[in-house]
Amino acid sequence: MQRREFLKNTAAIAGAAAVGGRAPSSMATTPKDTLLVLVENGPNSLDIHGVGTTFRSYVACWNLYDRLLTFGHKTLPDGGLSYDYTKIEPELAEEFIVSPEGMSVTFKLRRDATFHDGAPVTAADVKWSLDRAVTVGGFRPFRWRLAA
């Protein structure tokens, strides 16, 4: 789309909105099952383990990627939902077992856990992801060693 055409269409949409009209039929519409999020500053990466990743990247990735574990939920006094940071629940993991000395965790993956293309999530995939998180440089590997 050329700049002039973009400006004409934008002006047409703004004008139609101002008088309660409709957007030109040449413009695409957002499907009803699509979440449209508008923010001034978007994520700078979809790799949350990379050096320099911003807070917006973490927010996007929390909604895009599944985790082994997640926080539980609690109902707020006003009836809304919030994460319960005192409760940890399985997500990709079906269950998790903390060793008696608290130095290791064993995860049992859900059998139906898949990637976006339908390929199964395997223990090797999880190990690769954890190894990469520690070695890529932005994750602050010292956090992994705090318990050691």
> For the segment 30-74, what is each residue's pLDDT rounded down to a tens digit?
778 888 777 677 788 877 777 778 888 878 877 788 889 989 999
Instruction: Tell how many helices (H) and how many strands (E) occur in the chain.
Output: 4, 4
* Structure confidence at residue 148 (pLDDT): 46
Cβ contact 74:49 at 8 Å: no
Q: Domain of 46: which CATH number?
A: 3.90.76.10
Shared-domain flag, residues 11 and 80:
no
Split into its structural domains, the chain has a count of 2
* Six token digits for residue 127: 């190990």
Tell me the residue range of the domain where 21 lies: 1-36
Shared-domain flag, residues 16 and 54:
no
Cα Rg of the chain (Å, integer): 22
Closest Cα partner for 67 from 89, 37, 46, 91?
91
Shared-domain flag, residues 6 and 50:
no
Q: What is the pLDDT of residues 64-115, one digit of tens each?
A: 888 899 899 999 999 999 999 999 999 999 999 999 999 888 999 999 999 8
DSSP state of 120: B
Residue-wise DSSP of 22-78: ---TTS----TT------SS--S-S-TTSTT--HHHHHHHHHHS--SEEEEEEE-TT
Side chain identity at residue 70, one-letter code? T
pTM of the model: 0.58
Cβ contact 26:113 at 8 Å: no
Shared-domain flag, residues 22 and 82:
no
SS3 (DSSP) at 107: strand
